[in-house]
Amino acid sequence: MKLTRRNFLAWAGIAATGAIACDLFDDELRVQSPVDIPEDLVSGRDNWYATYDASVPGGQGILVRVMEGRAKKVRGNPRFPTNQGKQSPAADAILQSLYHPDRIAGPMLRNGPRGAGQFRPISWEEALNRFNAAVAERGDRMLLITEPRPGAFARICDSFADAFGGRHLAFDTVDDSAYRHAVKDIMGSDGQPYHDIANAETLVSFGSDFLSTWGNPTAYSVAYGKFRSGHRGRHVHFDPRYSMTAANADKWLPIAPGAEGYAALALAWTLIEMGLAEGDVARLTNGQGAAALNAFRPDAVAGALQIPDAALDGATVAQFFAELASKLAHGGLAMGGGGAAGAYSNGRFNASAALALNYLLGNVGQPGGLLPAPDTPIPGGIDARPAPLSDWQGVASDIAAGATRLVIVHNADPVYGLPARVGLADALSNEAVAIISASPFIDETTAMADLLIPDRAALESWGDDLPDPMPGHTVYAVQQPVVNPLSDLDPRSFPDVLLNAAADLGQGASMPADSHEALIRSNIEDELGADFTEALQNGGWWNENSAGSAPPPASGLLANVAALAAPAAANGTGEFQLLPYPHHTVLDGRNAHLPWAQSTPDPITTVVWQTWVDINEQQGRRMGLREGDVVQITGPNGSITALVYLNPGMPPGIAAVPMGGGRRSGSAYATDRDARESSNVMSILAAAQVDGSGGLAWSGNRCSITPAGDSMAVAKLEGDYTSREIGEHSAELVFKSVSEEGSH
Amino acid sequence: MVVDLDKCTGCQACVVACQAENNIPINTKDYFLQRRAYEWIRIERYWEGEYPNVKARFMPVLCQHCENAPCEPVCPVYATYHNEEGLNVQVYNRCVGTRYCINNCPYQVRMFNYWHPNWPHRMENQLNPDVTVRSRGITEKCTFCVQRIRRGEIQVEARAGQRLDDNRIAAGNYDPACVQACPTSALMFGDLNEPNTAIKPYFDDVNNYPGHHEHERETRGYRLLEEMNTRPSVIYLKKVDQYPLADKGAH
Ligand code: SF4
Ligand code: SF4
């Protein structure tokens, strides 16, 4: 729906005043003709409520269609500044998590061995008594593990942990700490900067899959659509994996895993050498000019980049970089270095190089450039960012040493998401640790709990968020309950459980408010000075005149970044680089129980429901592999099995495996496939850190691939026969070369 | 509808939005293995070239709502027909499941209900009351979200305080679920009976240069399987290729 703000208001007005959607208005009935389709008669009144979905990368403002107390449909909120009325691929799956058959109906107590998943229902009274008793007894050795969620939620969790002398850590399987560190070092902010793709002329990106799962992919896709309208920008992407972003780029350059930073600095050298840099070259290089980056001359790093000659259209690496630099000189934007690119031992270098390139292009804070994160408008800001691997390694040893005796977990699954080598699962199997889960579904961590106190689903709950990245200005997102839980469900708001427990245990005064809703209300009214009702109607509060500012670049920034350069270390051995990546819709596994997330074809392979490994088609054939062969993938820490998908785009020597498979506890939608076709790639990774950030180097592993002597049908949308474009036009004609002036 | 292939990233937002809007059954692994998954709109992915000069191309395919629809004349019970607005509609109550229309559709966008549709306990609460749940044994396909057109009309009528005839709902008062969801705005929708819709120039251009005159077109517009003269109501805009492949083997 192309809603302008004005006609949206008019529509909202109709719903609010209760327009009656039937023809009794005119004192007549519309009688259905037998040749009409039933859809010609719509009845009933619907309301659209603005709320927020924090479960997708970057978060999204949504409107939920509610009829007779039931949520029916989700659409992007046209007013919300990041996703602008559009939505992430499985946005509607939030409805399936609301009406999921496997939701934990009410509080439960373990009545079997730990981890066996046997629970019996108990009353809320008993559950809360047990909860309070556990906190009273072990609060000073408490660890609260939640999803990363800044705002009121983080503030309540932090206050609760502090009040009893415990700790609060946020968990995210996809550890992006190296990128966050680089942003903090270079731009001084805790939040990510925003890449103004829509207004860029030429975009060069390095290893981050921003059209699928990195940053805010929906907002970046909206911007990408604008980037390809009118002026029709040009996009060049460097990536060792044939990702969705690689597939969409105008030009994809395969590079060696972990060489992203070298590519960025080679471009930087070229820009300076050709005199095309708009930024303050003298400051950025300590007056040395191109000499500061002499080690990164394209011909010097060509060996490290390993770009195949055939990808360069007959040019040398130096010529290709020179051509790209001349394009970038006008309206150029550099992006990436985070996500997969930041998850090598040298991830901080990759991330820093991509960010620093923007200073050289002189686009920081400019339209079409890199927009610094604005200030946090409310207290409790961004300190809820995910904890790096180093913290989780500490947690495992704390539990083993007895320093942690109570673990409370909410919407986080570190037992599943951390490499097995970290030892968290082993540590938690120690019965001396009490485990309480407030997640609404059983997952690998919740399955180990002693007590379940299920939270309400997102569409039944209050919430707020500081989207990360923000779209170049301040945004405060507000989530309101749009429906009540069904009568056969009895969940309770987890933040309110914490607040009530603190009050019962005499710590009420240390908490920021009496209820989650009251805290959000006070954020809106007292901190932002805004109207509560209006913020709910809009889905949040934002200020378009609050652009962030970054300090001027450190002098010698490029020289400093160059000093970080190091080749990516390889953990383990084998002829393949193992590149895990978040599944397009199942993500890191958090959506594995949602049928719409599982049944949405992967954009590149079209595979559904299964775990596959992408192997270069020619290489796979040489190894005697066929599609659907079950192979054993042996990484630094054990092996998994997966089905072969022979991918004509994947570089030889890369084994790319989506995250999110191999769940063994919880809903049948997540668990009913066996290990051959559903496995957890994170489990076999080395527990190796990114240098200088403590994050997990999840891209930096080697593996070997051997046939397991079995094969299975691959469930996918594409046909089994080589396909030609439908239409009179063969594929080559359907895609038209257009000159630089743009397109119609 | 106009589909801009240059903007489609293959993200599948349209696919899931359509499933949620139109009460499409959950596509289990078995449905895919039997090639019977229901996707009223699907993203076809084509490979062009070989590593390293390789391109995955994405093409959203949905019912083309053809003016000369090959599916319509073969239905023995007139379950599929053209309404006055130019929609190719499917009357579920009439469909007896011969599947002739499915065989005759060159775009493979019609789906047969081989099974009784099932939703697990609680999930049926999400079903859209404006859309029929199709039973086993009948054919279904994209409707251009006709229920949204109707609801849009009713709301516009209520606002205007008068009845409109069916052809008069102005562009922008309604979008199909897929069009609304599409992050890159690769999908555009409008009513060709309205003089000023944004999509009209593409239709005019393609209609002005039919068949072998396509090279003279001013836009990137074309129709799928144009030579069959089905006259689809969906126009595709070609991809813009800034780094064309030298050797363009498609497979
Ligand atoms: S127009 Fe409606 S029914 Fe057709 S593909 Fe789009 S969402 Fe589905
Ligand atoms: S939502 Fe838009 S961009 Fe995404 S696959 Fe569909 S048509 Fe393409």
Per the model's pLDDT, the better-predicted residue between B243 and B188 turns out to be B188
Is a pLDDT exceeding 70 seen at residue B248? Answer: no
Q: What is the pLDDT of residue B166?
A: 46
- Alpha-carbon gap, residue A149 to A127, rounded angstroms: 25
Give residue for tokens 């047990």.
Answer: A130
Is a pLDDT exceeding 80 seen at residue B16? Answer: yes
Buried b / exposed e along B164-196 (16+ C-beta atoms within 10 A) = eeeeebebbbbbbbbbbbbbbbbbbbbbeeeee
Q: What is the pLDDT of residue A42?
A: 74
Buried b / exposed e along A408-420 (16+ C-beta atoms within 10 A) = bbbbbbbbbbbbb
- Alpha-carbon gap, residue A293 to A298, rounded angstroms: 10
Token output for B208 = 């002005």
Question: Where do the structural domains in chain B lie, given as residue ranges?
Answer: 2-237
A5 CA distance to ligand 2 middle (Å): 24
If DSSP states are collapsed to H, E and C, what string results for A148-173?
Answer: CCCCHHHHHHHHHHHHHCCEEEECCC
Is a pLDDT exceeding 70 seen at residue A3? Answer: no
CA B126 to chain centre: 23
Q: Is B40 in the pocket of ligand 1 (CB under 6 A)?
A: yes
Minimal Cα distance from B84: which residue of A? A36
Q: What is the pLDDT of residue A465?
A: 94
Please tell me which of the candidates B43, B90, B225 has its beta carbon nearest to residue A603.
B43
Q: What is the pLDDT of residue B163?
A: 56
Q: What is the pLDDT of residue B196?
A: 78
Taking the CA of residue B9 as reference, the ligand 2 atom at the shortest distance is 3
Nearest CA to ligand 2 atom 4: B11
Q: Are the CB atoms for A190 and A382 separated by under 8 Å?
A: yes
Is a pLDDT exceeding 50 seen at residue A286? Answer: yes
A438 CA distance to ligand 2 middle (Å): 36
Minimal Cα distance from B52: which residue of A? A311
Which one of the ligands is nearest to B144 CA? 1
Is a pLDDT exceeding 50 seen at residue A20? Answer: no
Across A218-222, A739-743, B6-10, B101-105, least confident range:
A739-743
Query: Does the beta-carbon distance from B93 to A38 stay under 8 Å?
Result: yes
- Alpha-carbon gap, residue B112 to A356, rounded angstroms: 55
Q: What is the pLDDT of residue B49?
A: 84
- Alpha-carbon gap, residue A719 to B32, rounded angstroms: 10
CA B237 to chain centre: 15
Q: Which domains does chain A have, with CATH numbers?
A: 108-173+381-457+495-525 (3.40.50.740), 177-371 (3.40.228.10), 576-741 (2.40.40.20)
- Alpha-carbon gap, residue A603 to A217, rounded angstroms: 14
How does the average pLDDT of chain B come out, rounded?
88
Q: Are the CB atoms for A592 and A598 separated by under 8 Å?
A: yes
- Alpha-carbon gap, residue A697 to A468, rounded angstroms: 22
Q: What is the pLDDT of residue A647?
A: 94
DSSP-derived 3-state class of residue A10 = helix
Token output for B110 = 């019609």
Classify domain B2-237 by CATH architecture: 2-Layer Sandwich (3.30)
Q: What's the pLDDT tens digit per position in A610-667?
A: 999 999 999 999 999 999 999 999 999 999 999 999 999 999 999 999 999 999 999 9
Q: What's the pLDDT tens digit per position in A404-441?
A: 999 999 999 999 999 999 999 999 999 999 999 999 99
Q: What is the pLDDT of residue A231?
A: 86
Q: Is B41 in the pocket of ligand 1 (CB under 6 A)?
A: yes
Which residues share a beta bridge with B188?
Answer: B2
- Alpha-carbon gap, residue B75 to A46, rounded angstroms: 36
Token output for B119 = 């939703």
Query: Does the beta-carbon distance from B155 to A731 stay under 8 Å?
Result: no
- Alpha-carbon gap, residue A224 to B184, rounded angstroms: 6
| All residues at 6 or more sequence positions from A490 whose CB lies less than 8 Å from its CB, including other chains | A105, A106, A107, A124
Residue B53 at interface with chain A, using a CB cutoff of 8 Å = yes
Q: What is the pLDDT of residue A580?
A: 98
Among residues of chain B, what percentage have pLDDT more than 70?
91
Q: Is B178 in the pocket of ligand 1 (CB under 6 A)?
A: yes
From A664, A615, A611, select the one nearest A640 (Cα to Cα).
A611
Query: Does the beta-carbon distance from B175 to A652 stay under 8 Å?
Result: no
Mean per-residue pLDDT for A41-46?
A: 77
Mean per-residue pLDDT for A221-245?
A: 95
Sign of CA dihedral A220, A223, A229, A232: negative
Q: Are the CB atoms for B41 and B15 separated by under 8 Å?
A: yes
From A77, A315, A335, select the one nearest A194 (Cα to Cα).
A335
Q: Which residues in chain B (186-225) have CB-CB distances under 8 A to chain A?
A: 186, 218-220, 222, 224-225
In this complex, how many residue pairs, one in chain A and one in chain B, have their CB atoms less than 8 Å apart? 339
| DSSP states of A639-658 | EEEEEEEEETTSPTTEEEEE
How does the average pLDDT of chain A come out, rounded?
90
Among residues of chain A, what percentage have pLDDT more than 70?
91
Among residues of chain A, what percentage have pLDDT more than 90?
85
CA A542 to chain centre: 22
Confidence of residue A549 (pLDDT cuts 50, 70, 90): confident
Q: Are the CB atoms for A25 and B158 separated by under 8 Å?
A: yes
Buried b / exposed e along A561-596 (16+ C-beta atoms within 10 A) = bbebbeebebbbebebbbbbbbbbbbbbbbbbbbbb
Query: Does the beta-carbon distance from B51 to A76 stay under 8 Å?
Result: no
| DSSP states of A183-195 | HHHHH--SSPPEE
A79 CA distance to ligand 2 middle (Å): 21
Residue B243 at interface with chain A, using a CB cutoff of 8 Å = yes
B15 CA distance to ligand 2 middle (Å): 8
Q: What is the pLDDT of residue A726?
A: 44
Q: What is the pTM of this model?
A: 0.92
Mean per-residue pLDDT for A545-550?
A: 86
Give residue for tokens 């696919």.
Answer: B15
Q: Are the CB atoms for B159 and A10 separated by under 8 Å?
A: yes
Q: What's the pLDDT tens digit per position in A464-513?
A: 999 999 999 999 999 999 999 999 999 999 999 999 999 999 999 999 99
Residue B51 at interface with chain A, using a CB cutoff of 8 Å = yes
- Alpha-carbon gap, residue A720 to A737, rounded angstroms: 30
Q: Are the CB atoms for A243 and A258 separated by under 8 Å?
A: no
Give residue for tokens 């981890």.
Answer: A115
DSSP-derived 3-state class of residue B235 = strand
- Alpha-carbon gap, residue A166 to A181, rounded angstroms: 25
- Alpha-carbon gap, residue A116 to A473, rounded angstroms: 48
| All residues at 6 or more sequence positions from B206 whose CB lies less than 8 Å from its CB, including other chains | B214, B217, B219, B221, B222, B223, B235
Query: If you ran DSSP here, which 8-state letter would residue B133 be given?
Result: P
Q: Which residues of B touch A21 (CB under 8 A)?
A: 151, 154-155, 158
B189 CA distance to ligand 2 middle (Å): 14
From A670, A685, A477, A701, select the one nearest A587 (Cα to Cα).
A670
Token output for A314 = 């007959």
Q: What is the pLDDT of residue B214?
A: 76
Token output for A441 = 């579904």
Query: If you ran DSSP here, which 8-state letter would residue A418 be given?
Result: S
Q: Which residues of A touch B43 (CB under 8 A)?
A: 601, 603, 717
Q: Are the CB atoms for A332 and A204 separated by under 8 Å?
A: yes
- Alpha-carbon gap, residue A609 to A669, rounded angstroms: 9
B177 CA distance to ligand 1 middle (Å): 6
Q: What is the pLDDT of residue A1?
A: 39
Which one of the ligands is nearest to B1 CA? 1
Q: Which residues of B touch A618 (CB under 8 A)?
A: 50-51
What backbone phi and psi angles, to 5 degrees, belong to B98? -75, -25
Confidence of residue A19 (pLDDT cuts 50, 70, 90): very low
How close A447 gets to chain B, by Cα (Å)?
22
Query: Does the beta-carbon distance from B155 to A14 stay under 8 Å?
Result: yes
Q: What is the pLDDT of residue B164?
A: 54
Which one of the ligands is nearest to B181 CA? 2
A434-437 and A451-452 strand pairing: parallel
Mean per-residue pLDDT for A112-139?
A: 95
Strands, E assignment, B51-135: 53-62, 80-82, 88-90, 111-112
Per the model's pLDDT, the better-predicted residue between A376 and A250 turns out to be A250
Is a pLDDT exceeding 60 seen at residue A10? Answer: no
Confidence of residue B171 (pLDDT cuts 50, 70, 90): low
Q: Which residues of A touch B81 (CB under 8 A)?
A: 35
A721 CA distance to ligand 2 middle (Å): 24
Is a pLDDT exceeding 90 seen at residue A333? Answer: yes
Q: What is the pLDDT of residue B162?
A: 60
Across A356-370, B106-120, B156-170, least confident range:
B156-170
Confidence of residue A384 (pLDDT cuts 50, 70, 90): confident
Nearest CA to ligand 1 atom 5: B41
Crossing angle of the two packed helices A152-164 and A494-504, in degrees rounded to 10: 30
Q: What is the pLDDT of residue B156?
A: 72
Across A416-420, A676-680, B44-48, B135-139, least confident range:
B44-48
| All residues at 6 or more sequence positions from A280 whose CB lies less than 8 Å from its CB, including other chains | A359, A362, A553
Nearest CA to ligand 2 atom 3: B8
Per the model's pLDDT, the better-predicted residue between A301 and A381 turns out to be A301
Q: Which residues of B touch A734 (CB under 8 A)?
A: 5, 57, 222, 236, 238-239
Select from B142, B187, B199 the residue to mutate for testing ligand 1; criterion: most ligand atoms less than 8 Å from CB.
B142
Residue B5 at interface with chain A, using a CB cutoff of 8 Å = yes
Sign of CA dihedral B228, B229, B231, B236: positive
Q: What's the pLDDT tens digit per position in A260-279?
A: 999 999 999 999 999 999 99
Across A39-48, A150-159, A230-239, A281-290, least confident range:
A39-48
From A37, A11, A75, select the one nearest B144 (Cα to Cα).
A37
| All residues at 6 or more sequence positions from A721 whose CB lies less than 8 Å from its CB, including other chains | none
Please tell me which of the candidates A19, A37, A737 has its beta carbon nearest to residue B155.
A19
Is a pLDDT exceeding 50 seen at residue B173? Answer: yes
Selected for mutation to probe chain A from B108, B122, B213 (highest A CB count within 10 Å) is B122
Confidence of residue A35 (pLDDT cuts 50, 70, 90): low
Q: What is the pLDDT of residue B245?
A: 64
Q: What's the pLDDT tens digit per position in A343-360?
A: 999 999 999 999 999 999
Q: What is the pLDDT of residue B249?
A: 41
Instruction: Name the maximum alpha-carbon separation found in chain B.
Output: 61
Report ipTM (2 d.p.): 0.93
Residue A608's CB is within 10 A of a number of other CB atoms, namely: 23
